[in-house]
Amino acid sequence: MRLAKYLADAGIASRRRAEDIIRQKRVKVNGLTAELPQAEVEESDHVTVDGKKVGGSEKKVYFLLNKPPGYISTAVDTHDRPTVIDLLKKVKERVYPVGRLDADTSGALILTNDGKLAYRLTHPRYGIKKTYRAWVKGIPGKKILDKMAKGLLIENWKTAPAEIKLIDRDKKRNLAMLQIVLTEGRKRQVKKMCSAAGYPVIQLQRINFAGLTVDELAVGSYRVLKADEKRRLYDMVGLKQ
């Protein structure tokens, strides 16, 4: 099995993120630093990440966090900033965030040690829906919203079609709240879309990820996913439990 896949299956990170971790020389196989994500490993090999052993019979766990602003969506931060893992101190298993939210973005974030599920939930092939609410500077009209929904050219790529609507406005402060549903998840996509249209984001929250909402979850709190929620996630990405 390839090392990157081994790490993903063990719940360390998505396969793409696992490749980055390997290139950062944080992984050792049988005491030797690994450098290639495609290196072959066996179940009997001793694999560590940051000095901690990977593998074993650790049970799979799944959590939904209502991420507050000010937290980094990684397991470890080299600049010693607070991470989302700091909010799950009572969780004994080693979990990782599924995808990322910017430090100043709040809302729905899944954390798990199920690498296969995490990988598919973040892969564009599966078109997992993510719903955001963004306060933006300025009040866009219907033509602008339609243009954003059809797709915008940002840098060297065009955004996929999205669902966008105006749900609130503050005329005195010249602000508007947009609800944006995406099926792709490029880095800082909502912010880039709004800026490209001329309406920079002031505040951003993800209210729904893969059908999971944080409506009844206090900011900074988390909960265990229910059995039917896990089953729906597996069905969405074509996995069997």
Active site residues: 102
How many other CB atoms are found less than 10 A from the CB of residue 120? 21
Query: Residues 184-206, buried b or exposed e (16+ Cβ, 10 A)?
Result: ebeeebbbbbbbbbebebeebbb
Q: Give the helix ranges, DSSP H, for the chain.
A: 3-9, 15-23, 115-122, 142-150, 189-197, 227-236
Residue 85 is classified by DSSP as G
Give 241's contacts (C-beta < 8 A, 6+ positions apart).
Answer: 230, 231, 234
- Can you tell me the distance from the alpha carbon of 105 to that of 61, in angstroms, rounded to the nearest whole number? 24
Which structure tokens are listed for 9? 């299956």
Q: What is the phi-psi region of residue 87: left when phi exceeds 0, alpha when psi lies from -120 to 50, beta otherwise? A: alpha
